[in-house]
Structure 1
C-alpha cells in the first residue's frame, strides 16, 4: 500500500478499561456529538461509536463495555474481547485510573499478553496527585514497552496528545510480541507443554497467541473451550485433561485453583513493575483523602439515608421548578398546531387522523420532553459525581433483607429508581449478578420502578389533580415503587426463587466534578431514545388506536336520526338566524340563536361520544369495564391502559386521542390535564388509583422481550406480565374501594 493511500485509510481505535476509569468520559470528550449508540449484533450490550479527525486522519473510535478482565465470565467481557480479536483495531487505547493503578493494570497486562497494539491513557492523574501519588509516565512507558500518556478526561486534558500517540503507533505498524509472564513452578511447565501442542496443531492460532489460548484453558474460559471443541475435538480434549490435572495438583498442594494462581502472579508482576522510580508516594502516614472524608458523612449509617432521601427530593423539586414554563410552552405550541390543522385541513377522516390521531396523540407525549430533560440532567449529575455508587453501597444491607443483592440497586436505578430511567437497560444490568436466583428476582422486580415512559403519564395526572403538591406526590410514588418492588422481590425469593444471597463487593469511585459537556451528552442520549420512540412506535400505535376509535362509526339509521334532529332545530330559525348559528360570533347573539347553537352542540357531543363508544376500541374498553370498574376506571382509561402494554407513553397519546375525538369544541386548546380535571368521571381518588396501576402493571412489550432474552425463557416474560398486572389490579382496587368507603370519591 502506498504512503498516500495508507494515510487516507480510516483508523479503527478501541477504548478499553475498567468500569469507573473515565473511559466513557474520555470517549465523550473526543467525539462529542459525533457518536452513534446502538447494540452489538444479536446482543443487548450497548455499542458506542464516534469519529474524530486529527490532522486530516479520520479515526473511528469504539467505546468497549467496561471490564476488569478479558476472561469471558460476563457478556461485557466477552463482547470486549471478541471485538478486539475479530475486528482487530489498529490500536487499543487502554484507559487506566492513575489513582488505582495496580488494579487497573491487570487489564493492561491481559491486552499485552494477547499481543494487541496498546496505548495507555493514564487518566485521572489529577486525582492521583491530590492523593500525594506521583507517577512517572516515561518510566512506566519504558517498562511496559508501549506509549503512556497522562490525561484528565473530564477536562479534556491530554486527549489530543493521546490520539497523536495512537496515530503514530498505528502508522509505525509495530509487531508486538505478546508479553510473557512467569506463573510459577507449578503452572509454567504445563503452560509450556500446552503451548507446544497448540503450535504443532495450529490450534486457534489464527485468533489467539498459543500461550494465551493455554492460559484460557487453565482459567476455564468456556468460550475458548467451545471454539476449541468445534475446531479440533481431540486437541481440545488433551488440553482440557492437562488443565484438569493441573487443577487437581494445585488443589492438593496449594489449596487453590489455577485461575487464582495466575491472578496472583499477574498482580505480583504489576507490583514489581511499579517499584523503583515509577510510583512515588509523596505523603506518608494514614492520610484520609477528600473522597474518604466525604464518605464519612454520605455513607454514614445514620446520616447517609437522610442525605439520600433529601437528594432524591431535591431532584424532583429541581425537575418540576425548572420544567414548569417549558412544558406550558410545548402544550401551547401543540394546541396552536392543532388549531391550525383544524382550519387548514377539510373536515373528514384525514383531519381527524392528523388532529386527533397524531397531534393530540403524540403531542401529549412530546410535550413532556422539558420535564424529562431536567430529570435526566439531575440523574446524570448524580451518576457522574459518583454518588449513585455510594447509594448502592448503603442500600446493600436493605436489599439483603429482601433477598436481593447490593448490585441490584443499579438495575433499580437504571430502570427508574429516581424516576426517568428505562427498564430495558435496567433488566440488562442484572448481568452483573452472579447467581441466577438474585438475577431473576431483580429483573422481575426492576420494572416496578418509574421509568421515563411512566413519568410523563404520572406527571400529567399529578398536574391535573395534585397541582399544589406535585414534587411531593411524585416523591411519594417513587417511594411506593421502591416499597412494592422490594416487598414483591421478597415474596418471589421466598417462594419460586428460594436460596441464600451472595456476598456484595463494590468499588467506590472517587468523587468528581462533572463537566457540562459530559452532562449534556448523557442527557441527550436519554432524550434521544425517548424522541426516537415517540417518532416511531408511538406514532404507529397512535394511528392504529385512532383507527380503532374511529371505525366503524355510527350506523346509517343513527346518522339519519341525528341529521333529522339538527334539521328540526334549523327549521325553526330564519335565514339570518341560521347564518348566525353557524358563524364564529359569540357576543350579542339573540336568545333563540344562542339556544339553537347550544342544542346543536349537544347533538354534536352526543354524536362524537356515541361514535367513539360504538367503535372497535370503544366496545373493547366497555367490555373491560365489568372488571376495571372495581378500580374506578372507565372505558377510555381501559383503552389507554391496553395501549400501555405496547409502550407506557401510549397511555397519554391514547387518552389525548380519546378525549379529542369526544370533544367538539374545535377551538379549545386546553391541555389533556385540564380536560381530565373537568371530566365528571375523574377525581383525585380515581387519579391516584390509576397512577398506582400504571406504576405497577405489566412492563412494556420491549421490556418483556428483554426479560425473555436475559432469563432465557418465555415463561418469565409471561410471568412478569401476569404477575405485575395482577398486583396492580389488587392494589388499585383496594385503594379505590377504601377511598369510596372513606368518602373520598367525590
Structure 2
C-alpha cells in the first residue's frame, strides 16, 4: 500500500521509499525510514498537502510525494495473517470458515516483521547494451530460459523473473538492450519509460568489459538519472585473456558506482553482484566510497544552461519524485522530443525552452557543434579521463578518438609531457609581460594625462586632491595592468577550450596527490597567478569538498597580478638588472613551495581522511573559435574591472583620506604624513614589525593592501616620494633614476631604525634585505578582501575565510622575520 492511500487517523509502517535520488534523499532525511511508524494527522481538502507524524515530528508531504512511499498497515498484516492460517488449515485438511481479517490478532512485532519481509523484496532492472550478457544473467539468476542471440533486438520485450539470495527476494526485469537513453529507437524509449514509471529499487547496468569506453556511455546517462545502480563488468574472462589491466576499485570510486567483474555463462561473480545490490539498496548515499552521486561536467556553457533550466523544473509539483531535473535539463539540450513535449505542458515552458535555445546557441558559436554532440563529447571525455585515472590499458583493443589519443601519448607522456607543459607556461608568462607592456604604457600615459588635466583646471582643495591623488592616482595604478590580465586569461581560456588544461591537471596529478590534493586543483592554482578571486570560484569544478577547501586556503600564495606593481617597484628600487628576473622568479617559486608545504600540513593534520575521488575529464582536442576565447577572456576581464570599480576604488579613497586628514598647510610634507591618521596608525603598529625591520611607512603600505594588493604600490609611492607614478612604472629595466628618491628615503629609514650612519657600508645590504623581506610579506600575507569574500561565498562559512586571513598573515610574519634575522647574521 502507498502512504498516499491512508486516511486521516490511520497508521502504517514504512517499507521503502521509491523515486529518484534527489527526492529519495530529501524524504529519507525528513525521517521516512524503513521500519518507522507514520500516522496521518490531516488530509487537506484537495489532497495537498497531507500532514503526518513520524519520529515525534509533524511533517507535510504532497500527495504525489506520499505516493512514492510504500507502507504496510495493520489491516494488511491481519489479512496476510488470516491467509496464512487458512493455508495452514487447508494443509491439515481442516475446514475453516473465512472470518473477518480485523478479528485476527496482530502484535506490533508481527506488524514490524511483515514490514521487514516486504522491505526485503528488491525490484531490479537489468539495463545494458545489446549483446552484453543481460539475458544470460537473467537466465542464470531466475532459472528462465530465454534465447541468447548475437544480434541487436533479440530481447524484444521486458522479461520478468525472480531470484532469492541472503534472505532477500529479487524481482528481476530484463529490459531491451539499448546503446543509450536517447529517443531514437523503440528500445530506448521503452527502457526510459520503465525506469521512470516503474522506478526500480536498483539498476544492474551490465557492461561488456572488453569494450569499456563504448559501454560506459550508457552508464553516464544512468548517472544523470540519479538512480541507485550496480555495474556488472561481464565477460571479464575475455579481458583477462587479452591482457587488459584496470584498477576496478578506482574506477568504481570515480563513477560513484560499485562495479563487479562477472562471467554469467559460468556464474562467476554473480553472488558478489547480488551482494552489492543488497548493499546499495540498504545503504544511504555516501556510506560507501563506491556509492555516491556525481555530476558529469559538460562544459561551462552547457552547465550554465542546465542550471538555469533546473531552476524552473524544480518548481514543478510532482516532477522531482519521478525525474532527476538535471537529467531532464540535459535531455532538453540534446533536443529530446519526448522531454520537450513533457516540458511544453509546464506553465513556464517558454522560459525553459528559451534558456535551452540560448545555451545551445552559445555552444554552437564556441565549438561549431550542436549541444547534443558537445554533451556526447563531454561524456566520452569523462569516460576517457576515468579510465586513464584507473590505469586502464588494453592488450590489443582498437583505439577510438585516435587523434586525441595520439596527442595524449605525446602531451601527457611521462618524459616529455612535463617539459612541454613548462614550456607552454613560460611562453604564456613571457608574452603576458612583454606584449602586455605596450598597451600598459599607453594606459599609463592616459592616466597621467587625465591627472594633469584635472590638476590644471580644478581649483585647489580637498576635492581636487582626492580626485588626483586618490581616485585617478590609486585606481590608475591598478588599471594599467588590465592588458596583462586579459592576455593571461586569453592563454588560460585557449588552453581550457582546446582541452589542454585538463591534460595539464592530469600531468600535475602526481604532484598534487603528494600535496594531499587532486590534479584538478592545479587549474585554480594556475588561475591564481592572474587573480585569486576567479581562481577561488574555479574551485567549484573540484567535487571533493576537502580538496576544494584546501585549494582555496593555499591559493593566496600564488602571486596574483595585483602583486606585480609592488614587485616591480621594490625590485626596481633595490636590485640590479642582473638580479631583477632572479628575484621575480624566486618570489613565484617561493609562493608555490609554500602552497605545497601548507597543503600537506592541512591534509595531514587538519583535514584527515581519504579524499573523495573524482574524474579529471579528458575531452577530445578541438581548436577553439576566436569568438569563444574572446568571450571567456572578456568575461574574466570584466570581473577584474568590477573589482577595480568597487573595493579598490573605495580602499584608495580611504587611504587617501587617512593620509590627508587632519590637514595642516603649515606643516611640511614629512610632518603632515607623520601627523595624519595614517601616520599615527603606522607608528602604532610599527613595533609589531620590528623583527622584520620595516618602517612605519612600509607597515602602512601593508595595511592598505588588505583591501587590494594593488593599493600597496600606490600607498608606498605617496608616503615615500609623494609620487604615484612610482607605482605605475612597468619597465623594471628602464630609467632607474625614477626610483632614486624612493631608494634614498627607504635606505634613510632603515639606517635610522637600526642606528646606522648613512655612510655605513652595511646600510645598503640591510636595506636590500629589508626590501626582500617586505616582498616576502607581500607574497604571503592576508589575501585581499575580495578573495576573503570569495572564500566565504564558496565555502558558505566565514570560518574558512577568516582562517585563511589569519594563517596567511601569521605565515608571512614568521617567514619574513626569520629571513631578516638570519640574513642579518651574514651582513
TM-score (ref. length: structure 1): 0.54
Matched position secondary structure for 2:519: coil
Give unpaired runs (5+ residues) of structure 1: 1-68, 75-101, 104-139, 147-176, 192-211, 220-248, 563-606
Instruction: Call closer, same or farther: CA 1:372–1:430 in 2, change over 3 Å.
Output: closer
| 8 Å contact from structure 1 (residues 365, 652) kept in 2 | no
Matched position secondary structure for 2:630: helix
Spell out, residue by residue over 1:704-724, the C-alpha distance to the aligned partner (whole angstroms, 9 max, x if none): 233334434433222211110
Distance 1:449 1:347 in 2: 42
Distance 1:189 1:492 in 2: 42
Residue of 641, 650, 672 corresponding to 1:531: 641
Instruction: Call closer, same or farther: CA 1:342–1:434 in 2, change over 3 Å.
Output: closer
Distance 1:451 1:636 in 2: 23
Matched, 1:541 2:623: no
Distance 2:569 2:642 in 1: 21
Alignment of 1:136-151 (within 5 A): 144=183
User: Following TM superposition, by how much is the alpha carbon of 1:490 offset from its aligned partner in structure 2, in angstroms?
Assistant: 0.9
Residue of 451, 454, 466 corresponding to 2:563: 454
User: Following TM superposition, by how much is the alpha carbon of 1:651 offset from its aligned partner in structure 2, in angstroms?
Assistant: 2.1
Structure with the larger helix share: 1
Spell out, residue by residue over 1:394-416, the C-alpha distance to the aligned partner (whole angstroms, 9 max, x if none): 222112212222222233233x1
Distance 1:667 1:646 in 2: 20
Distance 1:493 1:722 in 2: 18
Matched, 1:615 2:676: yes
User: Following TM superposition, by how much is the alpha carbon of 1:521 offset from its aligned partner in structure 2, in angstroms?
Assistant: 1.7
Residue of 432, 440, 444 corresponding to 1:319: 432
User: Following TM superposition, by how much is the alpha carbon of 1:438 offset from its aligned partner in structure 2, in angstroms?
Assistant: 3.0
What does residue 11 of structure 2 align with? Answer: none
Distance 1:73 1:216 in 2: 10
What does residue 426 of structure 1 align with? Answer: 535
User: Following TM superposition, by how much is the alpha carbon of 1:640 offset from its aligned partner in structure 2, in angstroms?
Assistant: 2.3
Residue of 783, 797, 816 corresponding to 1:699: 783
What does residue 717 of structure 1 align with? Answer: 801
Spell out, residue by residue over 1:485-531, the C-alpha distance to the aligned partner (whole angstroms, 9 max, x if none): 11011112222222233435212122222222222222212222112
Instruction: Call closer, same or farther: CA 1:429–1:255 in 2, change over 3 Å.
Output: farther
Distance 1:262 1:640 in 2: 48
User: Following TM superposition, by how much is the alpha carbon of 1:667 offset from its aligned partner in structure 2, in angstroms?
Assistant: 11
Q: Which moved more, 1:456-465 or 1:622-631?
A: 456-465
Matched position secondary structure for 2:504: helix
Distance 1:253 1:288 in 2: 33
User: Following TM superposition, by how much is the alpha carbon of 1:391 offset from its aligned partner in structure 2, in angstroms?
Assistant: 1.4
| 8 Å contact from structure 1 (residues 362, 538) kept in 2 | yes
What does residue 587 of structure 1 align with? Answer: none
What does residue 516 of structure 1 align with? Answer: 626
Count residues in correspondence. Answer: 466
Spell out, residue by residue over 1:419-464, the C-alpha distance to the aligned partner (whole angstroms, 9 max, x if none): 11x3334334444445443333222112222234334443444455
Instruction: Call closer, same or farther: CA 1:306–1:472 in 2, change over 3 Å.
Output: farther
Alignment of 1:111-510 (within 5 A): 144=183, 180-183=192-195, 188=199, 252=275, 254-255=277-278, 257=280, 285-286=398-399, 289-414=402-527, 416=528, 419-420=529-530, 422-465=531-574, 473-510=583-620
| 8 Å contact from structure 1 (residues 250, 257) kept in 2 | no
Matched position secondary structure for 1:537: helix
Matched position secondary structure for 1:182: helix
What does residue 13 of structure 1 align with? Answer: none
Spell out, residue by residue over 1:175-234, the C-alpha distance to the aligned partner (whole angstroms, 9 max, x if none): xx998443499x75669xxxxxxxxxxxxxxxxxxxx9xx86868xxxxxxxxxxxxxxx
What does residue 764 of structure 2 align with? Answer: none
User: Following TM superposition, by how much is the alpha carbon of 1:327 offset from its aligned partner in structure 2, in angstroms?
Assistant: 2.1
What does residue 736 of structure 1 align with? Answer: 820
Distance 2:709 2:512 in 1: 27
TM-score (ref. length: structure 2): 0.49
Distance 2:292 2:509 in 1: 30
Distance 1:252 1:656 in 2: 71
Distance 2:515 2:687 in 1: 36
Greater relative contact order (Cα 8 A, min sep 6): structure 1 or 2?
1
Query: Which is greater in Rg?
Result: 2
Instruction: Call closer, same or farther: CA 1:318–1:470 in 2, change over 3 Å.
Output: farther
Distance 2:725 2:181 in 1: 75
What does residue 678 of structure 1 align with? Answer: 741
Alignment of 1:548-563 (within 5 A): 548-554=658-664, 559=666
Matched position secondary structure for 2:609: coil
| 8 Å contact from structure 2 (residues 558, 591) kept in 1 | yes
Matched position secondary structure for 1:453: helix
What does residue 638 of structure 1 align with? Answer: 699
| 8 Å contact from structure 1 (residues 405, 502) kept in 2 | no
